[in-house]
Chain A
Amino acid sequence: MQNFISGIAGFFTRLKSIHPLLPWGIALVVLLPLPQFTVNNYQVYLINFICIMIILATGLNIVKGFAGQVTVGHVALYAIGAYTSAVLSTKFGMPFYVNLPVSILAAMIAGVLVGIPSFRLEGAYLALATLAFAQAVEVYIRVTNYLGAASGIGGIKAPEFFGYSLRKYDDYFYLVMPIMLAAVYASFAILRSATGRAFMAVREDPISAASMGINVRRYKLIAFVMSAFYAGLAGSLYAHMLPGYVHPNNFTVIEMVTVLLMVVLGGIGNIWGGVIGAIIVTIVADITREYYFYQLLLFGAVIVGTVLFMPKGIGGIIDRYFVNRRFIAAREETAEVKRGIVGGSPDESSG
């Protein structure tokens, strides 16, 4: 097993040295025939939904994991993205390629509104403000007739490109999956860039980050806007997917918990962890859909259990495995060097 994993890791490192985008290209090609392996339409729908959830979780990871801002109401930005698309499509008859950027823009503006309180608020206060914001958005949608109130908005048109409508789930997959891969790749790129390092500096200690010449407010705001971009993207993609129907029930506390669970279970700040979390949580949520309240009980228990016993999540376990492996190799190397110099057995020097 160890050889297998290190072999794969080595293989990807070699691919990356040829061209940094090569592993992603291969992932794209590998994922392309995925709908062919499904048994029924519902599974394709589920795969599409998982892709959307991955985008959402990756976005949340930017603000929560990289920049360390505790937001709870991320689902409100997702709702804003979805409802903007829904209104534009049904009330104004706009096509998908107009709706997507406008929805993202709307979510980003809302992201600025959520981000501004983060200048002055930290930790629990920020969690509160975002929770209140999310709640206000949900209640507002639920009571506003223009937004369909409690019956939702139906009849959102499927995306159409050059006269070809992506009405089937199989077709939609070829739109969602590449976007998902690009989004995950972009979040890696952000993490590696100077912006990503600034985020992490702000997360670890805002004061010392400021003394290093990082504009803390600006980077907090950038983190919020970036994650809002992801949320708006996910929302718009969700609204345009068949059956083209958005309902306030899709943006409640339950979704808030689900998205939170994805990030927490995967490990806060760990991109692959977030992706794995999104996949696991969406599938488990689907399997347990019939046992609705037991499902939430399970999710709550997993959140509490993860925080208590596995604070770094699944991603943390993977990381530890790789890091430990490197440590063991480094330790053996040093031990060998020492043995060469001292000439004694390693048992004597230990202790």
Chain B
Amino acid sequence: MLVDFLVVGVSIGLVYAIVALGISLIYSGLDIVHFAHGEFVMFGAFFGLVLVNDSGLNYPISIFLAMIFAGLMGVVVERVFYRRLTSKGGGYTVAGMGMIICGFGMAIILQNIAFLIWGAEGHAINVDFGTPMKIGTVNLPKSYLWILCVSVGLMAILHLFLKNTKAGLAIRAVAANKDIAYLMGINVPLMISLIFGLACGLAAVGGVLIGPINYVQVEMGYLILIKGFAAAVVGGFGSLPGAILGGLMVGIFETLGAGYISGSHKDIYAFLLLIAVLVIMPTGLFGQLAKSKA
């Protein structure tokens, strides 16, 4: 029983962790909190749905393509809309407040565009994963195994990319200080687009991974957004290892709460965790005090 819950919790938690990674990337790179990130998860899930169910592509290729599409979409949205605000300064300035409201509005726009295209009813991504694996007494459905492999693999690739490539170094420089990055000859606007594309691509992967387990529907983005936020906050905003750990904690906390206390209140637990961490320990596990980042 407990092991089953833990398996589910860890898998769901890894999806939250991927979403939280994107949110943290955007926060550290652009100094903004992206309130429309959940909608990119939703769009990613719908891309996956179309690619798997309608086009008949196999699952890994669909994940990859959905990631590319959502990433490009993110780049366009950032270039066209957010760039006007972020160029005036992000963080906690007046433009920062505008950015929160703008992200919120963007989330509503994207959600309703998705509704007009795909309608309100839920769909499941039909992937035949085969029979569940048996390890000892525990039945391990293969969809969870997929989540585990893909998300851990992506995290490793992201880590290597940020640590070992020149573009990764440039991204870290932009996150540390944009003005000095400019002086060092880094193409900062391009790097910001790259950060945004990466983050939205990650979100889309989260969406495709959760698609076979949960229903894919227009309103899913909102809940995932708050849980991704909860994960990012628990781990400490802007910290990538923190985002992963936070995602796992939120996932396990939620699943155990749903299993042992009350299933219908499932969504409240993540919110309570979020509020509790915000009030008791706003810097999270790995975060520095975020106040000075402006």
Contact = CB atoms under 8 A, between A and B. Distances in A.
A301 interface: yes
B105 A301 contact: yes
A129 B84 CA distance: 26
B162 interface: no
Contact of A129 (B32, B96, B268, B275): B275
B264 A143 contact: yes
B284 to A, nearest CB: 10
B271 interface: yes
Interface residues of A, number: 40
Contact of B291 (A122, A257, A299): A122
Contacts of A300: 105-109, 112
Contacts of B32: 124
B278 interface: yes
B108 A140 contact: no
Contacts of A133: 271, 275
B85 interface: yes
A303 interface: yes
Contacts of A127: 33, 35, 100
A223 B38 CA distance: 30
A20 B28 CA distance: 51
Interface string A123-137: 111011101110110
A303 B271 contact: no
Contact of B102 (A121, A123, A135, A307): A307
A320 B265 CA distance: 49
Given A116-B279, A133-B271, A301-B105, A293 B112 contact: yes
B182 interface: no
Contacts of B230: 132
Contacts, number: 123
A323 interface: no
A300 B105 CA distance: 4
B96 A123 contact: yes
A117 B278 contact: yes
A129 B104 contact: no
Interface in B202-256: 222, 226, 229-230, 233, 237
What interface size band does chain B fall in? 35 or more
B108 A296 contact: yes
Given A260-B101, A300-B105, A303-B104, A136 B272 contact: yes
A63 B10 CA distance: 39
Nearest to B94: A311
Nearest to A72: B104
Interface string A314-328: 000000000000000
B282 A304 contact: no
Interface in A242-270: 253, 257, 260, 264, 268
Interface in A207-230: none
Contacts of A132: 226, 229-230, 271, 274-275
Most buried by A among B32, B105, B222, B233: B105
A209 B32 CA distance: 25
A264 B94 CA distance: 13
**What are the 10 tightest A-B residue pairs by CB atom distance, in nearest-first order?**
A303-B105, A300-B108, A124-B33, A300-B109, A132-B271, A297-B112, A304-B105, A123-B92, A136-B271, A307-B102
Given A129-B279, A300-B106, A307-B85, 4 more contacts: A124-B33, A135-B226, A260-B101, A303-B104
11 contacts: A117-B278, A120-B279, A123-B96, A125-B290, A129-B279, A132-B230, A135-B222, A293-B112, A296-B112, A300-B105, A308-B84
Interface of B: 32-33, 35, 81, 84-85, 91-92, 94, 96-98, 100-102, 104-109, 111-113, 115-116, 222, 226, 229-230, 233, 237, 264-265, 267-268, 271-272, 274-275, 278-279, 282, 290-291
